[in-house]
Copies of this chain bind each other. A is one copy, B any other.
Amino acid sequence: MKITSVIEDQLAWDEKAHQGEPIVLSTRIRLARNIVNTPFPGWANTVQRKGLEEKVSKVLSGLEFMSEASHFAISDLSELERHVLIERHLISRELTEASEGASFWVSKDQGLVVMVNEEDHMRIQSVAMGFNFESTWKTINAFDDAIEACLDYAFSSEIGYLTACPTNLGTAMRASAMLHLPGLVMQEHMDKVVRMVNQLGLTVRGLFGEGSEATGSIFQISNQQTLGEDEESIIKRLVGVLEAIIEQEAHAREKLLEESPALIYDKIGRAYGILKNAHVISSEEAMSLLSLLRLAVDLGMLPEESRNQVDRHFIEMQPGHIQYTAQTEIEPGERDLYRAKQLRTAFADLADLSLKNGEKSA
């Protein structure tokens, strides 16, 4: 399979179509795994890395989980393809910057990915749309067991899975959810939420990982600690906090709609009008506008069918995707023109906004 097919496979999006709690965009779990008696990628030479890569790939290619999967060496990908895959959250920036021997496997529905020779020998990840830790954990746990049946993991009964970076020791698991919190942002309550989350040993990041700005009111919340608790306890604690945040977000929206409905309708109406008519849109503005359209779906002002389209565009409006779709490298200024055109086209047939009281907005 070609990388272009992976990038352009809309089926993967549709199959993962959002269900359940609308505030949660996606659920993700990743496990770091290393093989015994083999140096970590950062300490290994090219021959060792390539040897590890072959060994792992041989195992993965034989697993039911990876039937119909695709496998790509990073060195075979263009700069732009790497950029797009990072924006898609399929692979990490670290993997694209890794030395010879770095590769990744991706299942047909793109729900399972194994990065080989990133910081650890293997970074296994499972992603699901919506709020879905149970099935995500079940899937990745079974996948991990299947791999472990064929490979000797570096594991200590005292400190758990051994990892290149000590912050991952223990479960070596990072569980996270992507939350859409426009209500808390508009109410200016996010500082308080971040403090609360941090105090509970969890981390808050933006849509594009560590240090990225929380554009589009999207926040990624994950466990910080990997030591001293088993996977299920970590997930249970994370889910508890997420549920509290979801409740706060719902409450913030209710309060906003009660106290200043016109303000919300105005923000959403303007976002709608601008997305359909602007000719210059930065990626940051696109995120804010899309965030408001997503809120409009939540509030029943746009049909539920629009949600998937909006969610896709959070990713497809990023600089890499814009250039990929344009099939040429374009300057940042021109990207804003191209992005606006893409959005005008994508949302040309968007349904009319309908207001709470049944009034149709023009």
Contacts and interface: CB of A to CB of B under 8 A. Distances in A.
Interface of A: 262-263, 265-266, 269-270, 272-280, 337, 340, 344-345, 347-348, 353, 361-362
A299 to B, nearest CB: 13
B277 A337 contact: no
A348 B262 CA distance: 18
Contact of A279 (B269, B275, B276): B269
A287 to B, nearest CB: 17
A273 B361 CA distance: 12
Dominant secondary structure of chain A at its interface with chain B: helix
Contacts of A344: 361-362
Contacts of A337: 262
Contacts of A269: 274, 277-279
A36 to B, nearest CB: 58
A280 B362 CA distance: 14
8 contacts: A263-B279, A269-B278, A273-B274, A274-B274, A277-B353, A277-B361, A344-B361, A347-B362
Copies in the complex: 2
Contacts of A278: 266, 269-270, 273
A273 B279 contact: no
Contact of A276 (B262, B273, B345): B273
A260 to B, nearest CB: 9
B273 A340 contact: no
A280 B262 CA distance: 7
Contact of A273 (B263, B265, B270, B345): B270
A264 B347 CA distance: 21
A301 to B, nearest CB: 11
Contacts of A276: 273, 362
Contacts of A262: 279-280, 337
A362 B263 CA distance: 25
Contact of A277 (B263, B273, B340): B273
Contacts of A263: 279-280
A263 to B, nearest CB: 7
Nearest to A275: B273
A288 to B, nearest CB: 14
Nearest to A280: B266
Contacts of A361: 277, 344
Query: What 9 pairs across the A-B complex have the smallest Cβ distances?
Result: A273-B273, A269-B277, A273-B277, A348-B362, A266-B279, A265-B279, A266-B280, A344-B362, A276-B362
Contacts of A348: 362
Contact of A272 (B275, B277, B345, B347): B277
A344 B354 CA distance: 13
A362 B272 CA distance: 11
With most chain B CB atoms within 10 A of its CB, the pick from A263, A265, A274, A362 is A362
Contacts of A362: 276-277, 344-345, 347-348
A340 B269 CA distance: 11
Given A273-B274, A345-B362, 6 more contacts: A262-B279, A266-B340, A270-B273, A272-B277, A273-B273, A277-B362
A277 B361 CA distance: 7
Given A345-B362, A362-B347, A270 B277 contact: yes
Nearest to A261: B279
